[in-house]
Structure 1
Amino acid sequence: MTLEAYADTIVPGQKRWAEDRAIAGVSTGGGAVEAGALELLRWDATGIHDGLDDLADLANEHARGYAAELGLTLDEEVPPFVALDYQDRVALIVRLTTPGHPEKDFWVMLSLFCNMAFDSAAHLHTAQALADGHPGLAAMGISQPDADGLWRFKEFGYGKQFARLHPDTTPQGSPA
């Protein structure tokens, strides 16, 4: 729940249900959580999957300290970071990611992975993510592949063709 709240603070989404505490609901559509931030964080390719419980505990420890400093009363029914309102979650993450904070590297890395889940769906096959309606790829307008599963672009990205197709290129795009 803490990591979901952290991911939702980085790329906010809408609540999944009315009483959803991890998702603040400050945005419409899917955010980092719906985009699969927790799945990406748990993926062993990230290199941080074994330390996620420690990061969640540390986020909650910082939330307790933040709340005590500001005189906030936290709901004990949920983890401390989750109990913070959205603006306080943002303020705490800004503190944790500010240059000079001794743990900055951990929090920046966690934030980058949350962004990565939304921006690139790095933990998913792109065509399947698009077919499943991945919120980040949809928000960025990533086009669907052609019927054969390959992406082709009828218009050049810079408005002009930089090079002509080699005459021995096959219809599948491979050089002969």
Structure 2
Amino acid sequence: MVPGEKRYGGDVAIAGAAPGPGAVQAGAVELLNLPDLGIGILLPELALLVNTRALAYAATHGRVLLPTQPPFVALRFTDRTALAGELLAPGAPDRQLYVLLALFAAAAFDTAAHLHTAAAIRQRHPGLSWIGFPAPDTDGLWRFPDYSYGRRLASEHPLTTPGGHPA
């Protein structure tokens, strides 16, 4: 869901369709296997489901797949992308499963959801580094005194308490 470069020369699982790291390098597999998520045990079945859909896609579109590779991996990147579009389309069977997988892949890349953010920054997390996520202050906290848009977004409500809470 977040394409990236191949991890090594013979890598077939990652298509290598984009420069820089992708979801796998950013920890998507680790995130999906976190015990607290409870979906790691389902991953073999989800892979079977994706590969079954890849076989159907290949047959429908006249694609010949290498028998030595899992069907989804054997698809070209453009076909993987088209199949992902079908799997994520409104009304598609099992769409919620694929949306969940896409969400976690993006979360692993964009937020390092499986790691403490300060630790991820120290470890040079591939996704956070790629998007230029800022490091925390020396005390490990993030403060944005200049605001993200370079200006104050709203005036403080007159009844806001000194602690910053609405009255």
Compute the TM-score of the two structures, normalised by the length of structure 2: 0.86
Aligned residue identity for 1:15:
K
Question: Is residue 147 from structure 1 mapped to residue 135 from structure 2 by the alignment?
Answer: no
Cα deviation 1:117-145 (Å, max 9, x = unaligned)? 11111110111111122122123321111
Instruction: Give the CA deviation at 1:153.
Output: 2.3
Question: Is residue 17 from structure 1 mapped to residue 19 from structure 2 by the alignment?
Answer: no
Could you say which residue in structure 2 is the equivalent of 1:79?
Answer: 70
Give the direction of change, closer, same or farther, for the CA distance of 1:131–1:162 in structure 2 (3 Å limit).
farther
Could you say which residue in structure 2 is the equivalent of 1:54?
Answer: 45
Conserved 8 A contact 2:89-2:95? yes
Aligned residue identity for 1:102:
P
Instruction: Give the CA deviation at 1:162.
Output: 4.5
Aligned residue identity for 1:144:
A
Could you say which residue in structure 1 is the equivalent of 2:54?
Answer: 63
Root mean square deviation of aligned Cα: 2.1
Question: Is residue 121 from structure 1 mapped to residue 112 from structure 2 by the alignment?
Answer: yes
Count of equivalent residues: 159
Conserved 8 A contact 2:6-2:14? yes
> Percent same amino acid among aligned pairs?
48
Question: Is residue 107 from structure 1 mapped to residue 98 from structure 2 by the alignment?
Answer: yes
Compute the TM-score of the two structures, normalised by the length of structure 1: 0.82
Conserved 8 A contact 2:21-2:130? no
Unaligned runs of 5+ in 2: none
Could you say which residue in structure 2 is the equivalent of 1:89?
Answer: 80
Unaligned runs of 5+ in 1: 1-9, 170-176
